Amino acid sequence: MSTIKRQQIAAGNWKMNMNYNDGLALAQALVDQNPANNGAHMVLGVPFIHLKGVADIIAGADHIHLAAQNCSEHEKGAYTGQISVDMLNSVGADYVILGHSERREYNAESNALLASKTDRVLAAGLIPIFCCGEALNIREAGTQNAFVANQLQESLFHLSAEDFGKIVIAYEPIWAIGTGVTASPAQAQEMHASIRALIADQYGDEVAEATTILYGGSVKPANAVELFGQPDVDGGLVGGASLKADGFTAIYNAFPAE
């Protein structure tokens, strides 16, 4: 058994929720309720308008980090409405969520585009939280492992082992996002193990064992303990349940005790 200890992360994706003042109040409540826990990290994936305000609130909490929900593949220029990695760096972001299923679907983000965004994020010294996952029809056809493998191969496997080692993977079964349906712990573990084996084939066992893989599909306080207890599940990318301080605190505290 590997002796490598992977980083455990509870990441909240606020999506398009929370006005400015409500978002700052939520961030403050999370800071107040969550001293450091077993070395686990909390990541707040907030809308762009919240980034600087939340960064100021969490500044004294070394275990709480800031994520943007997207970035541009371009360095700068005439791209109205887009946000560059330099802008994200300037307000204290640590992570960038890339390839979320909603952006893949609503904004037609391709694997090739996400490869470019990943390169841009890494070059800026930020950490991508790279999302992958299948829709219900793919799961029903039994081709989910091959589908997810293709997403990773086309967007990430051009990276060097050193750069790939900086990536956080988030597996999000699209059929379980916002539906109230959750992949069983066994289903989550099976896919996470498949992803880790794929990484091992490409980069070797050491890189694979060190890669943090999050589960993102209707994670709630009621199921977080069992999900996070799976050997290849290193935390969660949490949607709706991250919008309430008490609920997200419970999820953050769901990691197995050392």
- The rounded distance, in Å, linking the Cα atoms of 22 and 32 is 15
What is the per-residue pLDDT for 3? Answer: 54
70-245 adopts what CATH topology?
TIM Barrel (3.20.20)
- Known catalytic residue at 74: no
For residue 257, count CB atoms less than 10 angstroms from its CB and return exposed for 0-12, middle for 13-18, buried for 19 or more: exposed
- Known catalytic residue at 100: yes
- pLDDT per residue, tens digit, the chain (258 aa), is 345 789 999 999 999 999 999 999 999 999 999 987 778 999 999 999 999 999 999 999 999 999 999 999 999 999 999 999 999 999 999 999 999 999 999 999 999 999 999 999 999 999 999 999 999 899 989 999 999 999 999 999 999 999 999 999 999 999 887 777 778 999 999 999 999 999 999 999 999 999 999 999 889 999 999 999 999 999 999 999 999 999 999 999 999 876
The one-letter code for the residue type at 237 is L
3-state secondary structure of 164: helix
Catalytic residue among 65, 100, 102, 192: 100
Distances (CA, A) of 180 to 102, 176, 235: 17, 7, 18
What is the per-residue pLDDT for 144? Answer: 96
For residue 219, give every residue at least 6 positions away whose Cβ sits within 8 Å of its Cβ, in sequence order, or none. Answer: 182, 227, 236, 237, 238, 239, 241, 251
Catalytic residue among 73, 102, 134, 172: 172
What is the per-residue pLDDT for 1? Answer: 39
DSSP 220-255: -HHHHHHHHTSTT--EEEESGGGGSHHHHHHHHTTS
pTM: 0.96
What is the per-residue pLDDT for 217? Answer: 85
